Chains A and B, each alone.
Chain A
Amino acid sequence: MKRTGNEKEIMRKVLRYIRKHLLLVSLSILFAAFVVGLTLYLPILQGRAIDKIVDKGQVDLTGLISILAIICGTTLLTALLQWLQNIINNRITYRVVKTLRDDAFRKIQTLPLSYLDAHPAGDIVSRVIADADQFSDGLLMGFTQLFSGVLTILGTLVFMFSISWQVALLVVVLTPVSLFVAKYIAEHTYKHFRKQSEIRGQQTALIDEMIAGQKVVQAYSQQDAVQERFDAINQDLQKSSLKAVFFSSLTNPVTRFVNALVYAASGTLGAFLVIKGQISVGQLSSVLSYANQYSKPFNEISSVVTELQNAIACAGRLLDLIDLDSEKADPASPAVVESFTGKVDMNGVSFSYLPERPLIQDFNLHVKPGQKIAIVGPTGCGKTTLINLLMRFYDVNQGDILVEDTSIYDMGRDNLRSGFGMVLQDTWIKEASAKENISMGRPGATDQEIIAAAKAAHADEFIRRLPQGYDTILHDSSDLSQGQKQLLCIARVMLSLPPMLILDEATSSIDTRTELLIQQSFDSLTKGRTSFVVAHRLSTIRTADLILVMKDGNIIETGTHETLLQAGGFYSQLYNSQFAES
C-alpha cells in the first residue's frame, strides 16, 4: 500500500474534509475568540479587585463589589459560549469522521478485486474502525484546544504588554524554549506512534485470521503455536507502546518545567517593578496569572500536538486507503446494452494474476445466445478465472470480451453485470433477513415472488423452519449448513432471472437428491439463457452445448459430451474415471 507522504500532506487532506463545515468552523472560531477574550479579561478584573484590598483599613468595599458583579457576569457568558463551542466542535469532528468512514467505504466498493484479494480484511477493517476512532479522539482535542490555544497566546501578549512591557518581554523571550522542547518531543514521538500503529496492524491481521480460523486451529490443537506467534508480536507491541506512551507523556512535565521557570522569572522581575512603583501588586498578580496562562496554551498545544501526531498517523493510514486507485472507471459515454440475448465472444484473451505466471493465453470463445457452456477440468486449472473476467472482477491483459457484439470494456460495469446471475463457490450471506437475502438481486420484489423463487430453489422448506421464517435474520456464521446457504444463493438468482448465468460449483455441497430438483429448475431457467457452469458433476455437464476442457489455464478440448467422448482425449479420461474404483 502506498504511503501518503508526510504529515503536512495528510493535514492538508484532512483540512479538505473540515472545509465542508465552514459555517460551523467559523462559528467555532468566533465563539473561541469570545471565550478567550473574556477568560483573559478576568485576571485584569481580579487584579483590580486585589488593588482594592491593600491593607488593614485600606479596603474599598463598594468599589470591590462592583468589580465582583462584572466578574460574575463575564463568567456566566464565558461558560455559555464555551459550551456552545464544544457542541459545535463535537459536531464537526463526528461529521468529519463519518465522512472519512463513508469515503473509505465508498472506496472499498470501487477497489480492484486484485487489491482486495491480496490484502487481509482485518487490516482494512482496522483502518476504517480503530484508526478512524483514534483520529476522531485526536481531532476533537485538537479542535477544541488548538484555536483557543493560539488565540490565548495572542490575547495574553496584548494584555501583558498593556500592563508591563518588561515582564511581557521576558515571557516572550523565554517561551520559545517551551516551544522548542514541545516540538522536539513531538517529533520523536511521532516515529514511535507510527511504529506502534504498524505493529498493531500486524497484530490485528493475525487476530483476524486466527479467530476466523479458530475451528481449524483447535481441530489441530495448534493453539500453542499460534499463541507463540501472537506473543512474539505482542511483545514487540509492548515495547513499541512503552516507548510511544512514555515519550509522548514527557511533553507534559517538561513543558511544565519550562513554564515554572518563566513564572519564577516573571515573579522576580515583577516584584522588583512593584518595589520601583512601576506596577501595583494587583497588576503583578494579573501579569503572573497571564504568565501562567501564557504558558498553558503552549502546554495544551504541545499535548494537542502529540495527540494530533497520533491522530495524523491514523488519518494517514485511513487516507492511504481512501486514496488508493479505484478500478478503471467506466467509460465516460458507455455503450449501453439494453437487452441481452446472451451472445458472448472472447477474442484472443490473455490473462494472468501475476505477470510472471501466465495463465490464460490467446483464448477464443464464441457463445451463441442460449447456449450452455460447461467448464470442466482438473481442480486448479483456472476455471474460476473465466468468471472473474466475464464479470469484470479482473480485466484481461490482452484481447477483448464482447457481449452482444459490444466490448465489455466499452460498457458500464453495472450494465454488464445486470446481464449476469451468479452463484459462487464461496457462499456469502448478508446479515439481513432471509427475505432480504433473496431479494438482493431484485429489490422491491413482492413476498410472493420471493417465496416462489425460494420454492424453485428448494430453499422454501428450510427457511420456513427458521425461528421467524422469512424474517429470520441470517448471518455468515449462522447455523445454516453450507448446502442451505447455497440454496439461498440459488434462490437469489431464481428471483432476478438474468439473461446470462454463471454457476460456479453451485451445487457442490447440496445433496444429490436436492440437486436433482434444482437441476430441473435450472434446466427451465437456463432454457433460452446463456449459461456458464463450472462443475464437476458430469450429470450437469452432459446437457451442455459446448464443453470447455481446461488444463493449466488453457482450453485443451472443446466439443459436446458425445464428440469429446469419441475423441478419446483428456475429457474421456476424466469421464471414465468417475467410478474408477476397484
Chain B
Amino acid sequence: MKRLAPYIKPYRKECVIAPLLKCMEALMDLFVPLVMADLVDIGIRGNNPSYIWRVSLILFALALAGLGFSVIAQWFAAKAATGFASGLRRDTFRHIQSLSFQSADKLGTDTLITRLTADINQTQNGINMGLRLLLRSPFIVFGAMIMAFRVDVPSAWIFAVTIPVLAIIVYGIMWITIPLYKKVQQELDQVVKGTRENLTGVRVIRAFRLQEKEKMSFEERTELLSLAAEKVGRFSALTNPLTYVIINLATAYLLYVGAVRVEIGSLTQGQVIALLNYMAQILVELVKLANLIVTLTKAAASAGRVESVLLTETDMKDGARPFPDDSAICFDNVSFTYQGALEPSIKNLSFKAMPGETIGIIGGTGSGKTSLVNLIPRYYDATEGTITIGGEDIRSLKLSDVRSKIATVLQKSLLFRGTIRDNMHYGDQNASDEAIWKALEDAQAADFVREKPEGLSEPVEQGGRNLSGGQRQRLCIARALVRKPEILILDDSTSALDFATDARLRHAIKDLPYKPTTFIVSQRVSSIMYADRILVLDDGRLAGAGTHEELLSSCRIYQEIYDSQVKKGAGRS
C-alpha cells in the first residue's frame, strides 16, 4: 500500500482528528456503566432521589458530548475519504494515460475501468469506515476491559480470556474469506466483459441470431458469480453467531463469579450490573468490528488492485534531447516483436526517408505495415536496431516533442464525444476556426461539415457513431492536419473513401505548404503509386523499395499487387 500512502497524506490532520474524536465519544460511552452502578448502589440502595437526578444529568451531559465529538469526527472522516479517493482517481487516470500502448494492451480496457470506478469507490468506503471505527472499536473493547478490572479484578479475568478468543474467531474468518473475495472479483470481471462485449457486438450478435446463446453464457457467468459470493457469505455469516455465543457464555460465567464475589461481600449488585454492561458493550463493538473488517477486506483488495495499476510502470523511457531541425528518418536494421508474440512483426528493416518525402508502404495483411509506422512516433519501441530522426536515436528525444511533431491517423478512425471543433482541437488546442476549416478542406471533409446544421459545432457522439465510416476517416485526417505536423502518418486511413476523394486528398497533402514527411500505408496501389519511394513489405521483411516504375520492373510482389488491382479492376478504356 506504499504507493497509495501519498494520497492520504494531505489529510493527515483529518486522519488524526477523526479517530481521536471517535475515541473521545467512546470514552463518554465507557463512563455510562460506572454511572449506572452508582445509580443502583447509591441512588437506589441508599434511597437517594437527589442522587438519581444528578445521575440523569450526568447521563445527558455524556450523551451530548458524545454527539458533538462524533459529528465533527464524521465530517473529518468523510473529508479525508472522499479527498483521498478523488486524488487517487485523478492520478490513476493520469497514470493510465501515460502508459505505453504495450502496457495498456497488457492490462486491458475493462480492467482499467473497473479499477478507476468500483475499486476506488470501495477504497473510499474502507477509509471512511476505517477512520471512524478502526481505532474506536478496539478502544471500547480494551477500555471496557480496563474499566472491568478497575471494578473487580478477579471477575474481570474473564474479559482477558474472552477478547483474544473473539479476536481469533474474527481474524480466522477474515483469513478464510480474503481469497474467496478475490474469486468473487474475478467472476465479476467476467460479467463485465460479457456485458461490454454484447454492447459492442450487438449487430453481429443479432445478425447471427446469437441472442439466446449469449443470454445463456451470460447467465452462466452470473451464476458463477452468485455461487462465489454465496460461498464467501457462508463463512462471513459465521462471525456474528460465533461472537454472540462467546459473549453470552462469558456473561454467564461473569454472573457466576460475580455471585460468588457478592456473597463474600467483595462486590455490590450495581457493580455486577456494570460488569455485565461492559461485556455487552464489547459485543456491540465486536459486531461493528466484524462488519468493519469485511469492509476493510474488500477495500484492501480493491486498493491492492488500484495499486497494481499504479505500479505498472510504462515500459517506455523518456528521452531528454529536443526534436532535431532535420527530420530525416532512418531505420537501421530494425526488428520488432509484440510482447508475448511468437514471431517478430518487423524483421531487419532498413530504409531512409528525407524531409518532405512521401513514402508509400504496401504489403499483405499482417505483413507489418502498421507495426512499422507505429515505431516512428514511439507507440512501441523497436526490439532490435535503431531508429533515428535527424541522426539522433528517437529514444534519446523527448517523447512529448516527438509526439507533437508527428501526427498519425490510425487505422481505426476514432472520434470523441463533443463537437467537430472539439475533435479538431485534439490536433492543436489553439487552432483557430480558420485553421480548422483549412485542414478540413485539405482532408476533403469541409463539404460535409459545411452541410451539417451546426457546422463545426455539430455534436459528435462517442466514437463518432453518428458519422459514416468515410466521414470519420476524413475528420481523423483533418485532426492530424490541424496540427501541421513535420511527419504525417496515414495508416490505411482512407479505406472507406471513394477513389475520387482519395485522389483529391492525396493532392491536397502533396500541396501542403509546410511539406511534411508523409507515410502512407495502404492496400491500394493507386494510393501510393505516386509516392517518392514505396516500401513493399512481406511478412515483416522489406521485399522491395523504390519508385512505382522501379518496383514494377524489379519487385515480384509489387507486380502481383499491381496486377490484381489495376489489370482486373480498372480495365480502363
Contacts and interface: CB of A to CB of B under 8 A. Distances in A.
A397 interface: no
User: Which bucket holds chain A's interface residue count?
Assistant: 35 or more
Nearest to A91: B230
B438 interface: no
A379 B252 contact: no
A560 B287 CA distance: 81
B564 interface: yes
Contact of B200 (A52, A268, A428, A579): A428
A219 B210 CA distance: 36
Interface in A81-140: 82-83, 86-87, 90-91, 94-95, 97-98, 101-102, 105-106, 108-110, 113, 116-118, 120-122, 124-126, 128-130, 133, 136
B86 A379 contact: no
B263 interface: yes
Given A64-B255, A462-B365, A579-B572, 7 more contacts: A90-B229, A109-B205, A207-B93, A221-B403, A242-B82, A378-B470, A536-B497
Contact of B78 (A90, A230, A246, A513): A246
A91 B234 CA distance: 9
Contacts of A362: none
Interface string A277-320: 00001001100110010000000000000000000000000000
Interface in B203-223: 203-211, 213-215, 218-219, 222-223
9 contacts: A56-B265, A75-B252, A86-B233, A128-B191, A211-B96, A431-B193, A477-B105, A579-B503, A580-B500
Contacts of A382: 468
Nearest to A208: B113
B572 A214 contact: no
Interface stretch (A42-50, A150-158, A166-174, A331-339): A42-50
A109 to B, nearest CB: 4
Given A98-B223, A225-B429, A380-B471, A418 B497 contact: no
Q: Which A-B residue pairs are the 5 nearest by beta carbons?
A: A379-B470, A483-B365, A86-B237, A260-B63, A539-B569
A543 B268 CA distance: 107
A230 B93 contact: yes
Contact of B269 (A55, A101, A482): A55
A255 to B, nearest CB: 10
Interface in B82-120: 82-83, 85-86, 89-90, 93-94, 96-99, 101, 104-105, 108-109, 112-114, 116-118
Interface stretch (A22-30, A502-510, A522-530): A502-510
Contacts of B230: 87, 90-91, 94
B109 A211 contact: yes
A101 B222 contact: yes
Given A55-B262, A581-B506, A65 B410 contact: no
Most buried by A among B44, B210, B427: B44
Given A211-B113, A430-B201, A129 B209 contact: no
Interface in B39-79: 39-40, 43-44, 47, 49, 52-53, 55-56, 59-60, 62-64, 66-67, 70-71, 74-75, 77-79
Given A78-B244, A249-B77, A422-B207, A272 B86 contact: no
Interface string B221-263: 0110110011001100110111011001101100110111011
A191 to B, nearest CB: 16
A491 B104 CA distance: 30
Interface string A548-582: 00000000000000000000000001101111110
Given A105-B198, A281-B269, A578-B526, A479 B341 contact: yes
Contacts of B79: 242, 246
B82 A513 contact: no
B138 interface: no
Contacts of B483: 220
Contacts of A492: 208
B218 A512 contact: no
B377 interface: yes
A234 B292 CA distance: 27
Nearest to B116: A207
A509 B411 contact: yes
Contact of A577 (B132, B219, B499): B499
B427 A220 contact: yes
B451 to A, nearest CB: 9
B270 to A, nearest CB: 8
B199 interface: yes
B27 interface: no
B550 interface: no
B130 interface: no
Contact of A227 (B85, B97, B114): B97
B570 interface: yes
Most buried by A among B104, B229, B474: B229
A386 interface: no
Most buried by B among A117, A200, A254, A510: A117
Nearest to A246: B78
User: Which bucket holds chain B's interface residue count?
Assistant: 35 or more
Given A417-B207, A579-B570, A484 B365 contact: yes
B139 interface: no
Nearest to B28: A260
Contacts of B255: 46, 49-50, 53, 64, 68
A245 B97 CA distance: 29
Contacts of A467: 342
A440 B96 contact: no
B319 interface: no
A130 B118 contact: yes
A189 to B, nearest CB: 12
B531 to A, nearest CB: 11
Nearest to A109: B211
B560 interface: yes
B188 interface: yes
Most buried by A among B79, B199, B377, B404: B199
B492 A509 contact: yes
Given A72-B252, A477-B109, A513-B561, A271 B117 contact: no
Interface string A375-403: 01111111110000001010000000000
B244 A79 contact: yes
A11 interface: no
A219 B370 CA distance: 14
A126 B116 CA distance: 12
A94 B229 contact: yes
Most buried by B among A105, A205, A237, A241: A105
Given A223-B94, A512-B564, A462 B211 contact: no
A304 B213 CA distance: 39
Nearest to A56: B265
Given A227-B97, A260-B66, A579-B572, A106 B215 contact: yes
Most buried by A among B225, B259, B496: B259
B194 interface: yes
Interface stretch (B328-336, B347-355, B459-467): B459-467
B304 interface: no
A83 B89 contact: no
Nearest to A257: B67
Contacts of B546: none
A177 interface: no
Interface string A219-241: 11111011100110011011001
A261 B60 contact: yes
Contact of B496 (A122, A126, A508, A511): A508
